[in-house]
Structure 1
Amino acid sequence: MEQNEQKKMLQELEGSDREIGRKMGWLVSTVAIGLAFFHLYVAGFGLPGIGSRTFLVVHLMLGIILAFLIFPIKKGLSQKTIPWYDLLLAAASLAMGIYLINRQTAEAIMSARPTAVDLIIGAIFVVIVIEATRRVVGLPLVIIAGVFIGYFFLGQFMPGDFYHNRGDFSRFVYEIVYRSNGIFGTPIYASAQFVFIFILFGAILESTGAGKMFIDLAIRGFGKFKGGPAKASVVASGMMGSISGSSTANAVTTGTFTIPLMKKVGFPPHVAGGIEVAASSSGQFLPPVMGAAAFIMVEFTG
């Protein structure tokens, strides 16, 4: 019963409320396993015959397909199966990924003169990436992206140092989709090259029971001290963070046990929640460093 409640909490926080049937479950599992084996192959044998650009496109394409298959169009919308429009979006993501792979060495792309079809496909791809981001991460990140997209097109109306006159639709799509300055830039490279393998490793450890072992060990070691549940929360979140790069999953996994314990010994609810969130957010930076943010910072700063 406890495991079912924990799973339900994790689904709510991660945004997925679908109870997918067996047939659709096979579809989702096939895509996820294919994504995992693809990254394991690249991690073991490199990119012979694949190319770094193709690697990034496949990584993002399969990730977007999973986002549309797993996350409903609206959080809290309980669905027993995957609706037709999400299957259509997943198929469109696959088709556009194949198109981008085939067009990466085309003369029009290499010479920075994309065709009308390139621009249309690129624009639709940008919209699909934004929609997948909204479903998985939420609206705030979409708003931030929208502000910067708006700045690109409205720069000629901005004052002082914010002024620029480069807001051309063709240039926007070309830079964002077909070059390494936008979607296929440093963050997606860090995600594909490093983060995914670490997260996959952490997921294997969690599914085999290593996560619960860390929680039990922390409570056994620090539960007897003054403020013990809070100390156990910090230690358990740190150890969980060493195998999981997700702060949300960390808070749900360890917080399910530590927050009620902290409240039971007298911690105010907001303090107990704050301790758990702070510990879970910082846990992703414990060695071997599973947090995606760390890899992205390293890629940006060199």
Structure 2
Amino acid sequence: MSMRENNSKEDAVVEEKPLGTVDVEEIAKKFDVESRYRNLTGKIGLMVAWIAVAMSVFHLITAGLIPMVTSKHRAIHLAFGLVLIFLMYPARKKSDQSKPTIFDYLLAILGAVGAGYLAVMFDSIAQRGMSSTTMDLAMGLLTMVIILEAARRSIGKELPILSLIFLAYAYLGPYLPGPLAHRGYSIKTLIEQMYLGSEGIFGIALGVSASYIFLFILFGAFLNGTGMSAFFTNGSMALAGHKPGGPAKVAILASGSLGMINGSAVANVATTGVFTIPLMHSVGYRKSFASGVEAVASTGGQIMPPIMGTAAFIMAEFLGIPYSEVVIAAIIPAALYYVALWFMVHYEAMKSGLRGIPKDQLPDFKKLFVQRAHLLLPIFLLMYMLFDGYTPVYAAFYSIISTYVISFLRKDTRMDLKTLFQTLESGAKGAIGIVAATAVVGYIVGVVSLTGIGLQLANMILVASNGILFLTLFMTMVACIILGMGLPTSACYIVGATVAAPALTQLGIEPITAHMFVLYFACLSAITPPVALAAYAGAGISGSNPSKVGWIAFRLGITGFLVPFIFVYSPGLLLQNPNYLVVGWAIITAMVGVFALGTSVVGFWRDNLNMVERILLFAAAILMIKSGIKTDAAGIAILALVLFLQLKRLKGSASFAKNASEDTTRAT
């Protein structure tokens, strides 16, 4: 079979813009709101660059040298973020893209004043027992409005609208029907809760952004500055490029590695996809399939330890547990996600007769390792410090410093002053969307804390599901996917954890299991139609039909939709069971289960699978991913049956081919 025979009609159409020549920035801006900022030049660009560098330097100093009072630190963090947002992000698509307007400068100043006021006056406010004055309330109202506009510009309108709905709920409580009714809160009380309180704008969400998330985004910028991203990509090519369907496996390795650092599935598709999607297509993968693989691989980076798109730090803060516990719990589910995707691209290649790239056309891994292996040292230092009990703040700080120092070990990775300046600038600019998201999500957290709506929503889910665990899980899944559509990973998780997780914990599910369940579905909204933004970004690169790519990505990511249900029923997959034999067996059977799932989805094992065999393999996958002696035995039996049917059919085909050949010879 020719490598191209399996391609669909969409691949036969000659495009005006060939694959591989797309504008990455254009794709990112189309599907990722955070990328829609102005490309400022000249004096204005230099001014914004210096503000961004100052923001990065401020966070490095307060992280490792001169600690600051938490509330003041968060206020200054927000002030920097607001100033950069209004200078960089236009109010509308039709606004001036070349430079900020007078209105933008005014909003930037007001944002700095509103957030800076709390930093300057915090001691005075604390001395009066957090009681508010007219000036406090005026500054609070100003800051709340400014944050909503900043969030609308930098991350889209969805989260600000959701926040306004929650604020309206808090104010209109007496007029609401049934269980949603409450006594209601005045505008003064809401401003005090959001601006002066510890559970509003300046609560846990913004606190994690100011302390952890910013530093890890900056760490990622430093790794990119030394060429680490190229090392990941070229290393993946060297390791997997020659295997059947090698470029797809390269996409899995590269996108998974980089995706866990940058915290945005869409941004990761836009950066790595421009390389991996054309490469997959060049060896025979359909463009739509290649785009789906990239979308699923990039989305998985958000659940991949150790960084998990910064969600791990937020979860640890929410649960009040060490960061290492979150990472350990996330290892096996993430491995199942990627192993299943690996099987799918492998058997798709076997089914279509696709081969890898010849080894002589690939990078030399030994040479690459010698040239760039020293760049791995900061990552090892980071992991050592995190698991040795150091706080993530100190671990990130020393990892950043070590990255800069280690870059000087080789000339081609050395960071000169220009590169250092650009790295500090890009780190700050990459974090400002998160600043806005975590600030505005504070409205939701603050209202939930003030009104108890979280418990009310949890009770409503429990009543609707009649307390049946599976139905509760399903309804929570739907809620998380809807709430997470179009939002950054951190905001997705915070909203889901605040609104949906209580329903699970009320049924006796361990908090870490409930929060991991919420995180998965908040992230998977990126590949869930109809708002599958990561898939649509991949379609934009390949020129494929976005809807088709969305459904392919949904199918390839099916493991991600099943595994959270399984680890709720089998907590051993989160390594929560102290019995190592039980956990070990659960992991082995789960791996076999995702193998069965992958073959079922693709429709190929030893030979093409008919519909009955695919259904049987899907059933075997569910049985084996869910740990238990009876389910495992049933799953193994079904696997054996399908294998027997496959081998019997292959033997019959070989016998038929042999007889046909003999008949032809005799006839000749």
TM-score (norm 1): 0.89
Q: Are 1:85 and 2:103 counterparts?
A: yes
Identify the residue that residue 51 of structure 2 maps to in structure 1.
31
Residue 64 in structure 1 maps to residue 98 in structure 2: no
Question: Does the CA-based 8 Å contact 1:15-1:75 persist in structure 2?
Answer: no
- Structure 1 residues 77 and 292 mapped into 2: Cα distance closer, same or farther (>3 Å)? farther
Query: 1:298 pairs with 305, 312, 316, which one?
Result: 316
Q: Relative to 1, partners in 2 of residues 1:252 and 1:77: Cα closer, same or farther, differing over 3 Å?
A: farther
Write the distance in 1 (CA, Å) between the matches of 2:128 and 2:93: 41
Cα distance per residue 1:24-78 (max 9 Å; x no partner): 112111111111011101111242xx31110000011101111111111124756
Counterpart mapping for 1:1-302 below 5 A: 5-12=23-30, 13=32, 14-47=34-67, 50-75=68-93, 77=95, 79-106=97-124, 110-289=128-307, 291-302=309-320
Deviation at 1:198, TM superposition (A): 0.8
Distance in 1, Cα, partners of 2:103 & 2:127: 31
Give the direction of change, closer, same or farther, for the CA distance of 1:269–1:143 in structure 2 (3 Å limit).
farther
Deviations 1:83-109 (A, max 9, x none): 111111111111222211233233588
Change (3 A) 1:41 1:16: same
In 2, are the aligned partners of 1:241 and 1:285 still within 8 Å (CA)?
no
Following the alignment from structure 2 to structure 1, what is the Cα–Cα distance between the partners of residues 86 and 281?
Answer: 38
Change beyond 3 A, Cα 1:138–1:254: same
Question: Per the alignment, do residues 236 and 75 of structure 1 end up closer, same or farther by CA in structure 2, a change over 3 Å counting?
Answer: farther
179 and 86 in structure 1: CA distance in 2 versus 1, 3 angstrom threshold: same
Report the alpha carbon displacement of residue 11 of structure 1 after superposing the two structures with TM.
4.9
CA distance in structure 1 between the partners assigned to 2:121 and 2:213 by the alignment: 27
Computing the radius of gyration over CA atoms, which structure comes out larger, 1 or 2?
2
Residue-by-residue CA offset, 1:226-282 (whole Å, 9 max, x unaligned): 232221111101221354333333221111111223334444444333322221122
Q: Quote the Cα distance in structure 2 between the aligned partners of 1:285 and 1:76.
A: 36
Q: CA deviation at 1:129?
A: 0.8
Deviation digits for residues 196-243 of structure 1, max 9, x if unmatched?
A: 111101012113322122122222322222232221111101221354
Please give the alpha-carbon distance, in whole angstroms, between the structure 2 residues aligned to 1:268 and 1:117.
61
Paired with 2:125 and 2:37, the residues of 1 have a C-alpha distance of 44
Aligned-pair distance for 1:112? 4.7
- Residues 73, 119 of structure 2: 8 Å contact kept: no
Say which is worse superposed, 92-101 or 51-60, in terms of deviation: 92-101
> Structure 2 vs 1, CA of residues 211 and 107 (structure 1 numbering), >3 Å: closer, same or farther?
closer
Cα-Cα RMSD: 2.4
Relative to structure 2, which stretch is displaced further, 52-61 or 290-299? 290-299
Q: Which residues of structure 2 form unaligned runs of 5+?
A: 1-19, 321-668
By how many angstroms is 1:182 displaced? 0.7
Asked if the contact 1:219–1:232 (Cα under 8 Å) also holds between the matched residues in 2, the reply is yes
Residues 245 and 291 in structure 1, CA contact (< 8 A), matched pair in contact too: yes
Structure 2 distance, partners of 1:99, 1:264, is 57
Contact kept? 2:232, 2:254, Cα under 8 Å: yes
Structure 1 stretches of 5 or more lacking a match?
Answer: none
CA shift in 2, pair 1:187/1:132, >3 Å: same
Equivalent-residue separation in structure 2 for 1:33 and 1:301 (angstroms) = 33
- 2:525 corresponds to which residue? none
Q: Distance in 2 between matches of 1:267 and 1:161?
A: 53
Residues 17 and 3 of structure 1: CA distance in aligned 2, closer, same or farther (over 3 Å): farther
The answer as to whether partners of 1:15 and 1:76 remain within 8 angstroms in 2 is no
Which letter maps to 2:62?
Answer: V
Q: Secondary structure at 2:182's aligned position in 1? A: coil
Task: Check 1:24–1:206 CA distance in 2 against 1; reply closer, same or farther (3 A cut).
Answer: same
Q: Decide whether aligned partners of structure 1 residues 245 and 17 sit closer, same or farther in structure 2, where only a CA change above 3 A counts.
A: closer
| Aligned counterparts of 1:206 and 1:5: Cα–Cα separation in 2 | 20
